[in-house]
């Protein structure tokens, strides 16, 4: 049995191709494909991050707008504890914070400047 004749190559410098592959189109060689392009790139990503930050900051400031706090001397705080007017106490490091059951006037610090 004889083998079928091999078809001649169009370009002798071109390597053999696998059967079933479409012939290459003439023209400049194809550039390697990069990953999918993100529409807008870095500027759009940075703008989106800035927008998310600003919306989050706005929402957090709206939710905390009703919360007000004032600094009082430690002796006044202990007076409120003794009067059983403190609902919750929070302590972190050397700072003590608390919520009063009933609103109490903030004492004057005596500094008339």
User: 4-19, pLDDT tens digit by residue?
Assistant: 777 666 666 666 656 6
What is the Cα–Cα distance from 84 to 98, expressed in whole angstroms? 12
Mean pLDDT of the chain: 76
pTM of the complete model: 0.35
Burial track 46-58 (b if 16+ CB lie within 10 A, e otherwise)? eeeeeeeeeeeee
* The two three-digit tokens of residue 83, written as one number: 């009067």
53-59 long-range Cβ contacts below 8 angstroms, 24+ apart:
none
* The two three-digit tokens of residue 69, written as one number: 């706090």
Residue of 32 and 81 predicted with greater confidence: 81
């Amino acid at each position: 049995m004889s083998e079928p004749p091999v078809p001649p190559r169009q370009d002798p410098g071109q390597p053999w191709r696998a059967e079933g592959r479409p012939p290459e189109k003439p023209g400049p060689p194809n550039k390697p494909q990069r990953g999918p392009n993100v529409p807008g790139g870095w500027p759009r990503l940075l703008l989106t991050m800035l927008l998310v930050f600003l919306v989050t900051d706005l929402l957090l400031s709206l939710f905390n707008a009703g919360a007000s706090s004032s600094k009082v001397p430690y002796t006044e705080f202990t007076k409120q504890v003794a009067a059983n007017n403190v609902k919750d106490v929070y302590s972190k490091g050397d700072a003590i914070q608390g919520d009063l059951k009933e609103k109490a006037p903030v004492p004057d610090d005596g500094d008339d400047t």
